[in-house]
Chain A
Amino acid sequence: MKKIYVYMMAAMMLASCTEKPENVTKVDKLPAIFPDYSGVTIPDGIAPMDFNVTGDDCDCVDVTVKGSKGGEVHSNGDYAKFDLDEWHSLTQQNKGGALTFTVCVEKDGKWTQYKDFTMTVSPYAIGDWGLTYRRIAPGYEVYGHMGIYQRDLSTFDETPIFDNLAAPGACVNCHTPNRTNPDQYTFHVRGEHGATVVHRDGKEELLKAKNDSIHGSMVYPYWHPSGKYCAYSTNNTHQSFHSVRSERIEVFDQSSDVFVYEPSTHQLILDSLLMTKDHYETYPAFSPDGRTLYFCSSTAEPIPSGYKDIKYNICKIAFNPDNGTFGTRVDTIFNARKMGKSATHPRPSYDGRYLMFTMSDYGCFPIWHKEADNWLLDLRTGKAQPMTAANSDNTDSWHNWSTNSHWFVFTSRRGDGLYTRLYIASVDDKGNVSKPFLLPQENPLDYYDKLLDSYNTPDFTTKPVKLDEREMGRQINSDNRTATKVR
């Protein structure tokens, strides 16, 4: 009997990959790895940057990571998998320095050592606890299992904030905290039991999804830094479907306006300058001082024939938070139409220096536009430029800033052209943008290969979001809604 155990142990040891590299052949090329972490900049304390060696099947991967300021971690196995605590110590020790990865791969008993690659550890901490995002299959009109989730950035832990298992048939979207603080957030529920959920003062309030005065639902939100207001757009959104292979969905508004909601009074603050008939106004965003409201505006064009002529500029209007009134003139701060382009989804950095937006050929929904790239507008100089280091040949869109404005998260289809994944990159004091890294996962190749969801509307969160899912599901199904009224 003992012999059997000995054989079993021996077999298990042979089966697992624990051999050390010997008689290594060095090659002068970088290892083919997934995700491409070579040359990226990471914050200290991020979850271990595990990776897989791709290409030909290999028997064993041996990785040594050395810090420029000291420290070392080692991994030996089927893929590069680092111990959580050791990894955290290494990144903390090397904050502002660099990590050098030495990758050796065994195949058919022969070891090959590839050219080392480095990863920069940013001097700027990420500052936030994690990310929030929606996960949903990249579909068309019908949705199945989906939900809003949160992810601890220092580990691989993901937990649901609200999963539609709790409210069958519901679709939730646009989870938006106030400047990454989940003490105040809003999200929408679509479907039979539609609502706009507003969480403040530790309570959730479910607003009627539609109000006749705004001719539609509350859609894209952005909180006022004071928490007294939340700006929304109201959009009459439609979608059509392309016939050629490289395109898929076209989402367009047949009308849209911007307004501000005051949660304490349930009042909607409307202004004729933000609700023009000959223009579509959408994607509102308050400046960090709360005295300016940015938004996108395009001339209204006939739909569907003129959908390619819908091109948005980024505009601004003054806002007085003391009494909730708007200024009397709208200024264009970035004229994308002049460039034959459309600028959407403006997101001012919380330090007030930059405004990030997405540039595409036309329309308000760049998420399905391959050419969509993120741009950075320096609010001090008024100059805008594409964030080349972070952009790709495929769709890059829907970005949000970290609390300290040194990091941003965005979605990209660069992986396989369909499933959006989350990427994080940094912006230094001089405005230099780093090469982004894919949200780390344990055994990432396996994880992302099996994941059949896209990530939507990511944002940072300073701490975990607390929501009683079942209670929220009950409230959604109850159809008790608070009506909004126009001030």
Chain B
Amino acid sequence: MKYIQRYWKIVVSVVFAIAVAVFWALPAVSLLSYHEQYQLFLFTADYFRERLAVPGGLADYIAEFITQWNYIFVVGAMLLALLFFVFQRLTWRIAKGEETADVWYPLSFVPAILMLAYMCDANVMPSFLVALVLVQLLMLLWQKVACGANSVVRVAFIVVALPLSYWLLGPVMFILAAYIFIYVLANKSRRLSPWIAVVAAIYAVATVLFVAQFRPEPLYRLFGGLNYYRFPAYIPWPQVGMMVLTAVLPFLLRLLPAAKAKIAIPIQIISVVAGGCALVFFSFRTIANEIIDYDYLVRMHAWGKIIEKAEKKQPTTPLEVSCVNFALSQKGQLCDRLFEFYQNGGEGLFPTFTRDMLSPISTGEIFYTLGMVNDAERYFFEAQQAIPNFRRSGRLCQQIISCEIINGNYSVARKLLHELSHSLFYSRWADERLAMLGNEKKINADPVYGRLRKFRVSKDYLFSDTEMDQMLGLVYTHCYQNRNAYEYLMAYELVQRDMTKFMEYYPIGRFAGYTDHIPYAIQQALVYDWTQRHGSFDGMPYSIEPQWQQLMVQFIQAYMSNRESPVLSTPPLSNTFWNYMLINKRKAKGTKKESKEVY
């Protein structure tokens, strides 16, 4: 019992940290990957200087150092959990310094839980959490200075700590300033001059205005933080809320009256756990995070898991659908199982290019696998350029370099590999590639590079969003071993409901080396085409399995008797090309333009 009374607080904190680690390592692992793939921490003096050259740079540097460990997701999750643990413990230490009763310990978890919920937005940078933790250390230091030191030391602390914390940690400096301000006013018994409060507040604002003389960023960004949120033009309100809470909570907690531990603690724990879980659950379950999860699975080449995920919940956005189709193609099932999943026309195979950092990645991966190396490189490059805080990406760098190597642009590859070789987790890969450069035999023998070099077309054409089939046709006819290109071509015509072109391209599939069976969706389309012109299956020149003929008959009967028949909307009939063609007639949106205006 004594042990419980003595250690219950730290035990609860450790349990919280473990829960946070489990959260990041399991359901939110894709967010760890997301953070990791939009930065490239380099062990160079230039990188350190570059970070330290902007307000908040030290927090960025530390956060990026930590984030690189997300490459090994378990370690990344543990490091992040450690940060949350320290954040909660410091929250308590500061509150304790304000003479908060132990009975209110569970409430010290509130900021950490809110932060966890806030960080379910994948664009909240870990840099903000690091900055919060570091500024809390300064708040603790202020408590010591305010209690034990003379007024000269207190003033010296303010004079040094505020600008230094602004430069190193960013606008969390205002938390410190606000804390000092309230502390002075709330602790009159300590005989602190109220002028200290006023001077601290004015000095904090003056610090930012002074720094503004040397920095080009708009003032609102200098006040709101340059890298607390990935999108620089946006300062989210929850961030402001977190800053206010961190500064004010210690004083709110000390206002709470004494209470009976046996009642108050369980009630608090239950409330904080229940409220926290609900908050995190709803903050985490967003469409954006679903898409991030698909991207993560593509990154991991977890094709089976993508298909499993889609089987549980049908994807709807073009990016999700394209990931599922990509996974099917990697499993050799694209034209077998295409219509078991929701399809939205050509968009679901090749989503329209958008100027964001996420969607072009998986589309780039599709082009890459198909041997459309230049197009893949473009998508990877654009995704990297779209990273709103101008960071580099290890994942995208690797892909760009691979494209350059396949294309034989060794000088460019070497330059980019030099950069990558200064990272922790990509350096080995970079060194291996550096040793490869110029060695045609070795590159051609590489299972991926060699294959893609064979797939790559030699006759030039201009990329056109609206003529994907023509491009796929050129790619496939350049190398018949590229069966994926054929399947994408067939799938494209089917999801576009273009039977004329489907029948035009179908015969070139004879070179694709199908020995087992003609893919099911293709069989369905062939039967469909035949029945459009014939009254029976007699004389049909294709190797159609009897099951499809029987199903076609069932489909026709059901369709002719009642188009709303539930039979049509349940498997197996719902998972057929006929259903997609005749029942689910949502036309593919014609959003793609011939070419985009540049100026």
A-to-B contact residues, CB < 8 Å? 137, 139-145, 160, 163, 165-169, 188, 190, 216-217, 219, 235-245, 247-248, 250-251, 304, 307, 415-419, 449-450, 452, 469-470, 473-474, 477
Known pairs A243-B463, A470-B212; list 20 more (Cβ under 8 Å).
Answer: A139-B381, A141-B353, A144-B385, A165-B216, A165-B217, A168-B233, A190-B599, A238-B597, A239-B596, A240-B462, A241-B375, A245-B408, A245-B409, A248-B374, A250-B462, A307-B462, A416-B415, A418-B409, A469-B216, A477-B218
- Which chain A residues lie closer than 8 Å to B382 at the CB level? 139-142
Q: Give the CA-CA distance A239 to B353 in the complex, in Å.
A: 14
- Which chain B residues lie closer than 8 Å to A415 at the CB level? 411
Q: Which of B318-326, B441-449, B451-459 contacts A (4 or more CB under 8 A)?
A: B451-459
Indicate if B418 sits at the interface (CB-CB under 8 A): yes
In chain B between 353 and 379, which residues have their CB closer than 8 angstroms to a CB of chain A? 353, 355, 372-375, 378
Indicate if B159 sits at the interface (CB-CB under 8 A): no
Chain A to chain B contacts (Cβ below 8 Å), 15 pairs:
A139-B381, A141-B596, A166-B216, A168-B233, A169-B233, A235-B599, A237-B597, A241-B374, A242-B374, A243-B374, A243-B462, A245-B373, A245-B407, A247-B374, A419-B415
Smallest Cβ-Cβ distance to B212: which chain A residue: A470
Q: Are A304 and B595 in contact (CB under 8 A)?
A: yes
Q: Are B386 and A142 in contact (CB under 8 A)?
A: yes
What count of chain B residues pass the 8 Å CB interface test?
52
Q: Are B599 and A216 in contact (CB under 8 A)?
A: yes
Q: Are B463 and A240 in contact (CB under 8 A)?
A: yes
Contact with A along B198-240 (1 / 0, CB 8 A): 0000000000000010011111010000000000110000000
Q: In the complex, how many angstroms separate the beta carbon of B200 from the nearest chain A beta carbon?
A: 26
- Which chain B residues lie closer than 8 Å to A142 at the CB level? 355, 382, 385-386
- Which chain B residues lie closer than 8 Å to A243 at the CB level? 372, 374-375, 457, 460-463, 471, 474
B-to-A contact residues, CB < 8 Å? 46, 212, 215-219, 221, 232-233, 353, 355, 372-375, 378, 381-382, 384-388, 390, 392, 406-409, 411-412, 415, 418-419, 456-464, 471, 474, 594-599
- Which chain A residues lie closer than 8 Å to B384 at the CB level? 144
* Most interface-central of A245, A250, A251, A469 (chain B CB within 10 A): A245
- Number of interchain pairs (Cβ within 8 Å): 134
Smallest Cβ-Cβ distance to A249: which chain B residue: B378
Q: In the complex, how many angstroms separate the beta carbon of B368 from the nearest chain A beta carbon?
A: 13
Q: Are B598 and A145 in contact (CB under 8 A)?
A: no
With contact pairs A245-B456, A418-B409 given, residues A240 and B217 touching in the complex (Cβ less than 8 Å):
no
Q: In the complex, how many angstroms separate the beta carbon of A162 from the nearest chain B beta carbon?
A: 8
- Which chain B residues lie closer than 8 Å to A139 at the CB level? 381-382, 385
Which of the residues A190, A244, A473 comes within 8 Å of B218, measured between beta carbons?
A473
- Which chain B residues lie closer than 8 Å to A470 at the CB level? 212, 216-219
With contact pairs A245-B373, A418-B409 given, residues A474 and B218 touching in the complex (Cβ less than 8 Å):
yes
- Which chain B residues lie closer than 8 Å to A452 at the CB level? 392, 419
With contact pairs A169-B233, A240-B463, A242-B460 given, residues A417 and B409 touching in the complex (Cβ less than 8 Å):
yes
Q: Give the CA-CA distance A144 to B388 in the complex, in Å.
A: 7
Q: Give the CA-CA distance A143 to B409 in the complex, in Å.
A: 22
- Which chain A residues lie closer than 8 Å to B409 at the CB level? 245, 416-418
With contact pairs A139-B385, A238-B595, A241-B378 given, residues A166 and B217 touching in the complex (Cβ less than 8 Å):
yes
Q: Are B385 and A137 in contact (CB under 8 A)?
A: yes
- Which chain B residues lie closer than 8 Å to A217 at the CB level? 599
Q: In the complex, how many angstroms separate the beta carbon of A166 from the nearest chain B beta carbon?
A: 4
Q: In the complex, how many angstroms separate the beta carbon of A22 from the nearest chain B beta carbon?
A: 32
Q: Give the CA-CA distance A141 to B599 in the complex, in Å.
A: 10
Q: Give the CA-CA distance A137 to B390 in the complex, in Å.
A: 11
Which of the residues A140, A145, A245, A304 comes within 8 Å of B390, measured between beta carbons?
A145
Q: Give the CA-CA distance A473 to B220 in the complex, in Å.
A: 12
Q: Are B408 and A241 in contact (CB under 8 A)?
A: no
Q: In the complex, how many angstroms separate the beta carbon of B356 from the nearest chain A beta carbon?
A: 9
Q: Give the CA-CA distance A168 to B406 in the complex, in Å.
A: 35
Q: Are A143 and B374 in contact (CB under 8 A)?
A: no
Which of the residues B408, B463, B598 comes within 8 Å of A251, measured between beta carbons?
B598
